[in-house]
Chain A
Amino acid sequence: MSISNWKIAVKTVLPIVFGLTGALSLCAQDGPLPAGSISINFPDDSPLALLKSADESHASARGAALAIDLHLALTLRNIGPNRVRGLVLRVVSQEAALGGKGSVSLTSLNIPTGESFPVHIDMQLMRPSQSAAGPLVEVTLDGVLFQSLAFYGPNRLGSQRALTAAEMEAGRDRQYFKGVLARGGPEALRREVLDSLARQAARPQLDVRVSRGHAVTSAALGPEHTEQFAFLDFPDSPVEGVEGRAQVAFNQARQPRIEVRNRSREPVRYVEIRWLVRDSTGREYVAARLPVSVPEGIGPGQTAGDTEETSLEFRRNNQPVAIGGAVGFVSQVQFSSGKVWVPARLDLDRGTLRDVLPPSAEEERLTNLYRRNGLDALLQELKRY
């Protein structure tokens, strides 16, 4: 074999060898995550302390990408003087999802000073194999809500409003169940809980996909039309819906727009509309939340609106659900003072709303407690509040 032939052979084979070496190096990444991959940071003055964290995460190569299964079991302790009602952990993987973020919240807590409790974070990431230095995932405390509705935390995710609203709904529904118990005794409470469980089991639910950045409509969906909202008005709502519309084509709705009026005497900085849709058979579903956020505040008597540059696609049992007949109602209001309003139980029990809306987190927790541990456990739980 001549020297020139060997040169040709070497020139041809070497790049392939290097390529294969690269591919094999990806195989070598299967296994536990390297130290420092997960960063958990709580501020020094945090009312919650991280006692321990168990990490069963691992990474595996998927072609040119890296799949990461992250399973964190944290144990937190309330080291502050106040009873904790809720918390939000911000979970960010900047590399894996540019432009996105996640959060894990715990609500309906009742954690006294000195008590520990678990928090689980189960996450999947898919990212390019080639990565910059730094942690894969960062977990930080975004907020803690106390029994007094006082709040601690940077609140980057709007956690104060979300936790306060959840706590107000929880208080409202605990009070409702206590009222049923006071009026009709344990059997009346049992019937109420069984009714709630039956509604939860029968409640239809849509799978929703929200996209931003591709407002492309398909001709296969048929002609697009403007769907106007009809608003349900709750008498004690501090805000009323003025106008709502979305561009609808078959099972897709895009650019939803909401306009609201503040009819209270206080400035309002956030309004949330709950949007219901009806399918071709007349069955109603909860479609989405529609927020109107005005940080500078909506003055008394003033109107404000917001258009979301998003597209929502609705499916059920993996089949597209043609949508029509949009209905909206004000489901949450935050005043500029920080106070939060949620609808009364009486308003939500009107008409078909009761069957369409999901229960509050607290109602779901209490009925689940009855289902798992029986009536006595529920009675004991209600006595704790």
Chain B
Amino acid sequence: MKHPDQATLALHAGGDLGKLAGWRTGRHLARCAECRRELAAYEATREDLAGLHSFPGLAWGRLASEMRANIHLGLTAGECVAPVSRRSWPLWTPARLAACGAALALAVAAVWIERPVPVLLPAAGIVVETTAGGVRLTRGGQAMGLLNRGGESVTYTAGAEGSVEARYVDTNYVTVNQVDVD
């Protein structure tokens, strides 16, 4: 036999089950002494709860009245701050058109300005270094690089005073490109 769960029995004790569920639970209770005992326990608890009204120092009725009054007060206050009236505005005024145009222009300008640029080092001091194609000096957003021309192997040499040179054989001459910090 499948017994109703505890929640169903509790709801049945309070008369809160639907008609069909109440009928089915009632049928089961008529045949099941165990569930009838459970039901009886729930009904006893409900009676005990009803008796709490008489607990000294806990004015349940007054508390309920105050809560109801507060809810009404909130609703009234809400009505006071509701929108008073709505003026009708045309959708496209010159100012709005101008604002939209400005936003669009700003977006285009931002895309243009932020398009990819060759890598530059952050603005901090002056740096000389080897690169994939030669040697380069950078300072802030400015750069100057000397590129290797031909030459299958390039010998790079740094100078601790602040220089880097790239040396390679170009046809029958040796070319040395160097960048220096002044």
Interface residues, chain A, with chain B CB atoms under 8 Å away: 1, 5-6, 8-10, 12-13, 16-17, 19-20, 23, 62-65, 67, 91, 93, 95-109, 117, 120-128, 157, 166, 200-201, 205-214, 216, 256, 275, 286-291, 308, 310, 312, 358, 361-362, 364-365, 368-369
Contacts and interface: CB of A to CB of B under 8 A. Distances in A.
Contacts of B118: 62, 67, 124, 126
A288 B159 contact: yes
Nearest to A369: B172
A100 B176 contact: no
Contact of B160 (A20, A207, A256): A256
B112 A210 contact: no
**Residue among A109, A120, A209 with the most chain B CB within 10 A?**
A209
A206 B129 CA distance: 11
12 contacts: A13-B105, A63-B117, A100-B128, A100-B139, A102-B178, A108-B173, A120-B149, A125-B145, A157-B180, A207-B129, A210-B159, A312-B160
A100 B174 contact: no
10 nearest A-B pairs in the assembled complex, by CB-CB distance: A213-B125, A97-B144, A208-B158, A9-B98, A209-B129, A214-B125, A5-B94, A12-B98, A62-B117, A16-B105
A256 to B, nearest CB: 5
Given A63-B115, A102-B144, A105-B177, 7 more contacts: A16-B106, A99-B126, A100-B126, A105-B178, A210-B164, A288-B158, A312-B158
A331 to B, nearest CB: 10
B10 interface: no
B102 to A, nearest CB: 5
Interface in B113-168: 113-115, 117-118, 120, 124-130, 134, 136-139, 141-149, 153, 155-164, 167
Contact of A208 (B124, B156, B167): B156
A323 to B, nearest CB: 13
Interface in B28-59: none
Contact of B157 (A100, A121, A288, A310): A288
A95 B79 CA distance: 69
Contacts of B142: 95-98, 125-128
A96 B175 CA distance: 23
Contact of A122 (B112, B120, B146): B146
Nearest to A275: B160
**Residue among B144, B158, B180 with the most chain A CB within 10 A?**
B144
**Residue among A13, A157, A208 with the most chain B CB within 10 A?**
A208
B137 A102 contact: yes
B101 A13 contact: yes
A231 B125 CA distance: 32
A12 B99 CA distance: 7
B169 A364 contact: yes
Contacts of B144: 93, 96-97, 100, 102, 123-126
Contact of B169 (A17, A310, A365): A365
B170 interface: yes
B145 A100 contact: no
Contacts of B93: 1, 5
Nearest to A313: B129
Contact of A289 (B120, B138, B145, B159): B159
Contacts of A64: 113
Contacts of B126: 99-100, 211-213
A161 to B, nearest CB: 13
Contacts of B112: 23, 63
A207 B94 contact: no
Contacts of B155: 205, 358, 364
Nearest to B97: A9
Contact of B109 (A12, A20, A166, A216): A20
Given A124-B144, A211-B126, A63 B181 contact: no
**Residue among B117, B162, B174 with the most chain A CB within 10 A?**
B174
A19 B101 CA distance: 13
Given A67-B118, A123-B144, A124-B145, A106 B175 contact: yes
A308 B175 contact: no
A81 B60 CA distance: 121
A315 to B, nearest CB: 9
Contacts of B101: 12-13, 16
Contact of A124 (B113, B124, B147): B147
A211 B143 contact: no
A65 B164 contact: no
Contacts of A275: 160
B137 A97 contact: yes
Contacts of A1: 93-94
A183 to B, nearest CB: 26
Contacts of A358: 155, 157, 167
B21 interface: no
Contacts of A128: 141-142
A19 B147 CA distance: 35
Contacts of A109: 173
B95 interface: yes
